[in-house]
Amino acid sequence: MITLALSKGRIFDETTPMLAAMGIEPLEHPEKSRKLILGTNRPDLRLLIVRASDVPTYVQYGAADLGIAGSDVLVEHGGDGLYQPVDLGIAKCRMSLCAAQDLDVETMIRRGARLRVATKYLQTTRRYFADRGIHADLIKLYGSMELAPLVGLADVIVDLVSTGATLKANGLREVEVIGPVSSRLIVNQASLKLRYDQLEPLVQAFAQHTK
Ligand code: PRT
Ligand code: MG
């Protein structure tokens, strides 16, 4: 049995057409079924539905052989025990530094002010500010980062931006793009060595069906 871990929502929705092109059909849809293990039309392949940020952990420990995870999530996880052989080009967005429309962050930075930064992405954020020599105090949040600057929890946020609609709706602006984000196929390193003949064809199939 080959086990592929992925999250429901945008990653599942953008993976399904790729799987279809590879001749693979899930037997159920995760939004309709409450099952967390979904069979496919391939008797030797099943899907695990897990939280987006848990995908690398399932694959790292071999509970899943393969997974699909955003590069944002992989940077935070650290990538231990994982190969990242294919950039699937799905669930694309960008990681950005954002602030309230009326906050002059550029001047604050130029004057060497300490910034209070709310984010779910501590590793990415720490590295970004360290590389620029900007003093930053990080506040860890698990979601709805856009709220933090509006209620004085933080000066700025580091979050994912896609259309920009969420920033706009909350009176925020993108100060700087930190980098592009897309989803990767990840593989457990030990699984790939031990079951190369089973897993490598699937890795190749994904590589041929990237967006
Ligand atoms: O929801 P949950 O807490 O379970 O986990 P999650 O939010 O990490 O999962 P999910 O399914 O929302 O995201 C999975 C992956 O999709 C992320 O890890 C990213 O790699 C990728 N992705 C692509 C995005 C977006 N686009 C995106 N726009 N993830 C989140 N967003 C959010 C963003 O955080 C912000 O709140 O959408 C909002 C901005 O969207 P716009 O279009 O208004 O700019
Ligand atoms: Mg989400």
Q: How far is the CA of 160 from the centre of ligand 1 (A)?
A: 6
Quote the CA–CA distance of 149 and 101 in Å, as a whole number. 10
Return the pLDDT at 206.
Answer: 98
Quote the CA–CA distance of 177 and 158 in Å, as a whole number. 10
Return the pLDDT at 114.
Answer: 95
CATH of the domain at 15: 3.40.190.10
State whether 8 and 60 are in the same domain.
yes
State whether 125 and 172 are in the same domain.
yes
pLDDT grade for 89, boundaries at 50, 70 and 90: very high
Nearest Cα residue to atom 34 of ligand 1:
160
What mean pLDDT is reported for the chain?
97
Return the pLDDT at 58.
Answer: 98
pLDDT tens readout for residues 32-84: 999 999 999 999 999 999 999 999 999 999 999 999 999 999 999 999 999 99
Quote the CA–CA distance of 190 and 61 in Å, as a whole number. 10
User: Is the CA virtual torsion 68, 73, 75, 81 positive or negative?
Assistant: negative
> Is the beta carbon of 4 within 6 A of some atom in ligand 1?
no
pTM for the full model?
0.96
pLDDT tens readout for residues 172-196: 999 999 999 999 999 999 999 999 9
- Once rounded to an integer, what is the mean pLDDT over residues 106-120? 96
- How are beta strands 183-188 and 82-87 bridged, if at all? antiparallel
Return the pLDDT at 140.
Answer: 98
State whether 73 and 99 are in the same domain.
no
State whether 153 and 49 are in the same domain.
no
Quote the CA–CA distance of 145 and 167 in Å, as a whole number. 10
Counted domains in the chain: 2
Q: Where are the alpha helices (DSSP H) in 39-153?
A: 55-60, 71-77, 105-110, 122-132
State whether 73 and 115 are in the same domain.
no
Return the pLDDT at 3.
Answer: 98
State whether 29 and 65 are in the same domain.
yes
Q: How far is the CA of 127 from the centre of ligand 1 (A)?
A: 21
DSSP letter, residue 61: T
- Once rounded to an integer, what is the mean pLDDT over residues 84-109? 97
State whether 137 and 64 are in the same domain.
no
| Greatest CA separation for the chain | 62
State whether 72 and 132 are in the same domain.
no
Return the pLDDT at 152.
Answer: 97
Domain that holds residue 141: 93-180
Return the pLDDT at 107.
Answer: 96
Quote the CA–CA distance of 155 and 23 in Å, as a whole number. 48
State whether 100 and 160 are in the same domain.
yes
Ligand 1 mutation pick, 49, 75, 162, max ligand atoms within 8 A of CB? 162
Question: Angle at Cα 17 formed by Cα 144 and Cα 181, nearest 5°?
Answer: 40
Return the pLDDT at 158.
Answer: 98
H or E segment at 207? helix 196-208
